């Protein structure tokens, strides 16, 4: 994953760690999509969204009604709670994104037009406060990373 070797998530803490991971994975996902590695790009963007939701949930910016602590790590439940609480507007089709990510884990997605997905992910990350950010503040990518 794009953050390996570039950060110590535990040292950054429960809010800043996942937030940094979300930013690194957004950058890495964009790069992979641009290189034609569509499946890898989709999976990387999914992790960016997952990390962003986790960071927001533990930030305390808006109280969430998660039934159990484990719901923090169930992306579907967490997304639904973020919509219910008004953090997210619900316009992003998270179910479809999850299905696409699962498909991408199994196979490459040649010919998939990712532009709409990327725009949707970026809109979601904007609502979660991940965007905007200055990419020059991120550690440099290792060009050998898949």
Give the start-to-end residue ranges of the domains of the chain. Answer: 9-131
Average pLDDT on 8-24 reads 81
- Minimum mean pLDDT among 12-26, 31-45, 115-129: which range? 12-26
Q: CA distances (Å), 78 to each of 63, 66, 74, 106, in order?
A: 12, 8, 6, 24
Residue 63's pLDDT band (cuts 50, 70, 90): confident
Place of tokens 């965007």: 131
Q: CA distances (Å), 118 to each of 8, 41, 71, 103, 142, in order?
A: 26, 10, 26, 17, 22
Average pLDDT on 47-75 reads 83
Residue 2's pLDDT band (cuts 50, 70, 90): very low
Q: How far apart are CA 109 and CA 40, in angstroms?
A: 9
Task: Report pLDDT for 62.
Answer: 77
Task: Report pLDDT for 143.
Answer: 64
Q: How far apart are CA 146 and CA 127, in angstroms?
A: 28
Residue 110's pLDDT band (cuts 50, 70, 90): confident
């Amino acid at each position: 994953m794009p953050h390996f070797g570039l950060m110590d998530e535990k040292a950054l803490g429960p809010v800043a760690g996942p937030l940094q991971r979300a930013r690194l994975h957004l950058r890495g996902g964009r790069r992979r999509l641009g290189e034609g590695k569509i499946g890898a790009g989709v999976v990387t963007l999914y992790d960016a969204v997952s990390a962003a939701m986790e960071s927001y949930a533990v930030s305390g910016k808006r109280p969430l009604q998660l039934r159990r602590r484990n719901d923090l790590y169930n992306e579907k439940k967490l997304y639904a709670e973020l919509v219910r609480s008004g953090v997210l507007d619900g316009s992003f089709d998270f179910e479809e994104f999850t299905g696409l990510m699962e498909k991408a884990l199994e196979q490459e997605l040649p010919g998939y037009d990712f532009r709409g997905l990327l725009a949707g992910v970026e809109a979601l990350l904007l609502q979660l406060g991940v965007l905007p950010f200055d990419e020059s503040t991120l550690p440099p990518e290792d060009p050998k990373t898949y």
